Amino acid sequence: MLTRLIMRAPILRSLLSVAAAMPLALAGAAQAEEAGDGGATGAIALEAEYVSEVMGIVRGPQTGVRRADYASLSLGLDLEAAAGWQGARLQVQAIAATGGTPNALAGTLQGISNIEVEDARLRVFQLYLEQQLPGLPASLRLGFSDLNEEFYVTDSSGLLMAPAFGIGTEFSATGPGGPSIFPSSALALRLKVEPSTASYVMLAAYNAEAGVIGDAGGVRPLLREGALLVGEVGWTGQGKLALGAWSYSRRQPDLRDVTPAGEPVARRAFGGYVLAERRVAGDDERGLTLFFRGGLTDGRTTPYTGSWQAGFLASGVIAGRPDSQVSLGVNQAWLSQRYRLNAADAGDSLRSAETGLELTYSDKLAPWLTVQPDIQYVRNVLRGPAGRDALVLSLRLTAAID
């Protein structure tokens, strides 16, 4: 019976395939390391991760328990060590995710899990070549790349489960179907310059339509909907302070205004953001780091005019437990007037913002296994009986080897 169930569930087979490949790949990497120095033996870096979480929506528009799973297998190839190609690196990442869409019960706009997907598929999420430019403190990256791997990142907010702490909600909701972020990336060209060890400048152009091998429809045609242009400048001397800006090369449809012919008015879509984080006490092993992130948009082509997230990450919080961490975060997304007017036309009364509060604890049970209980409270933007605030209790297990 179990065999029949697996055969009828393609995404479950995908998860099992990725999971099954992990020990084999890691064993191969270990053998390569033991083989000695030189050649391709030291050129391969493998990382494997499996995440499983159970989320209980104990209060909200609907209640219930849902599960989500995520598996990732990454391979990095140092082309200089493997083939003598100086300063070049190839990166490949395959992911598979499935689950019961817990946010369908919680009814939030920003989401409650950063591994939740609408369609369960096996994807080649990243596939890119990175080249260090000879004699320059700069690199080029070409290929399918996760925008949020480099842009709009604060490490100290990364422990939290809500998607808003990864990339700002106001940015993630833009474009024809969302920018080049989990679970689908886009073809991109990125330049990164590091004038000093504590500063950087990044410029990138992404295909406006995200789509990879494994997506429904597959890879999207290049520049059919234009490009997403992103820039970020940052200082990392003591913590991080960064400013970013983005814009779409092709005008996007207005959420409300229409032409005399009844078509949406085409508007320039753009926005910007600020990132700040700093350790205010302790050290890497036992310390306290604060973070703040905020972004604004044009407010006419997206449901959000802006959003912000703030909080802290405390490490080594329990004596004798060096991997114990606690993080608290608050996030808020401001709805655009156009989006609220459209909702009013449909008979829904919306508040001006959605606000979420999250508290999480993480610790390692083994060098490769992490347990993470989590609690979230989200104030629903929908007024009335159908808009009950959400209370979510979660437990996440992460198995990772690198």
DSSP notation for 141-207? EEEEE-GGGTSS--GGGTT--SGGGTS-HHHHT-TTT--SBTTB-EEEEEEEEEEETTEEEEEEEEE
Examine the pLDDT at 37 and tell me if it is beyond 60. Answer: no
Residue 245 to residues 52, 273, 299, 331, Cα–Cα distance (Å): 34, 6, 15, 20
Is 138 buried (19+), middle (13-18) or exposed (0-12) by CB count in 10 A? middle
Name the band, by pLDDT with cuts 50, 70 and 90, for residue 41.
Answer: low
CA 272 to chain centre: 18
Which of these CATH numbers, 1.10.3720.10, 1.20.140.160, 3.30.70.100, 2.40.160.180, describes 2-31+43-401?
A: 2.40.160.180
Name the band, by pLDDT with cuts 50, 70 and 90, for residue 282.
Answer: very high
End-to-end CA distance of the chain: 35
CA 339 – CA 258 distance, rounded (Å): 14
Name the band, by pLDDT with cuts 50, 70 and 90, for residue 284.
Answer: confident
Backbone angles phi, psi at 368, to 5 degrees: -110, 0
Q: What is the pTM of this model?
A: 0.90
CA 299 – CA 335 distance, rounded (Å): 8
Select from 240, 241, 103 the least CA-distant residue to 162. 103
**Residues 300, 251: contact at Cβ < 8 Å?**
no
Select from 178, 184, 182, 202 the least CA-distant residue to 192. 202
Residue 383 to residues 169, 217, 284, 345, 377, Cα–Cα distance (Å): 21, 37, 44, 15, 16
pLDDT digits (tens, 9 = 90+) for 308-360: 999 999 999 999 999 999 999 999 999 999 999 999 999 999 999 999 999 99
CA 227 – CA 355 distance, rounded (Å): 31
Q: Using alpha carbons only, give the angle 60, 306, 393 rounded to the nearest 5 degrees.
A: 25
**Residues 139, 133: contact at Cβ < 8 Å?**
yes
Examine the pLDDT at 82 and tell me if it is beyond 50. Answer: yes
CA 291 – CA 379 distance, rounded (Å): 22
CA 393 to chain centre: 21
Examine the pLDDT at 26 and tell me if it is beyond 80. Answer: no
Q: How many CA atoms lie within 13 A of 244 on its CB side?
A: 32
Percentage with pLDDT > 70 across the chain = 90
**Residue 380, number of CB atoms within 10 A of its CB:** 21
Name the band, by pLDDT with cuts 50, 70 and 90, for residue 36.
Answer: very low
Name the band, by pLDDT with cuts 50, 70 and 90, for residue 45.
Answer: very high
Percentage with pLDDT > 90 across the chain = 85
Concatenating the DSSP letter of every residue in 352-387 gives SEEEEEEEEEEEEEETTEEEEEEEEEEE-SB-SGGG
